[in-house]
């Protein structure tokens, strides 16, 4: 049986130095409207602005040296692309992102600025 608590604990140890601790907040107004306690994990304060950093870092930090030398390639038009590119820069791993040609320009630019090679493909209509 998989020990998920152990896996989460190990991931937390890997991320501890690199991920920002982001706040959890609540809204009294929303709580009253819904008659419930609602919590928001503010991952918009995470590196590159999204929770995707956590998954990319956790996965890429576990690559073997041989795998790191080969680099990482992914497909994304947004936050995952930026996360993989940033983690690649932090860990010294060459990254390539296959991105649809209609991806937001701001996402493409950020991905390139983090150091990834972006390969365009024609998006289906």
Residue ranges of the alpha helices (H) in 16-51? 28-34
CB 24 within 8 A of CB 40: yes
Q: Is 76 designated active site?
A: no
The active-site residue, picked from 64, 77, 107, 109, is 77
| Contacts made by residues 98-101, CB under 8 angstroms, sequence distance 24+ | 98/73, 98/74, 99/75
Q: Is 77 designated active site?
A: yes
Cα–Cα distance, 34 to 120 (Å, whole number): 44
The active-site residue, picked from 27, 52, 69, 109, is 52
CB 91 within 8 A of CB 61: yes
Residues classed as catalytic: 52, 77
């Amino acid at each position: 049986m998989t020990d998920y608590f152990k896996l989460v604990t190990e991931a937390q140890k890997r991320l501890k130095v690199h991920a920002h601790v982001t706040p959890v907040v609540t809204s009294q107004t929303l709580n009253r409207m819904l008659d419930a306690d609602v919590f928001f994990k503010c991952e918009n304060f995470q590196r590159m602005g999204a929770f995707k950093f956590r998954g990319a870092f956790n996965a890429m930090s576990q690559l073997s040296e041989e795998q790191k030398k080969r680099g990482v390639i992914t497909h994304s038009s947004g936050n995952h692309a930026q996360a993989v590119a940033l983690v690649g820069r932090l860990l010294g791993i060459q990254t390539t992102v296959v991105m649809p040609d209609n991806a937001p320009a701001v996402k493409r630019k950020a991905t390139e600025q983090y150091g990834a090679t972006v390969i365009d493909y024609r998006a289906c209509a």
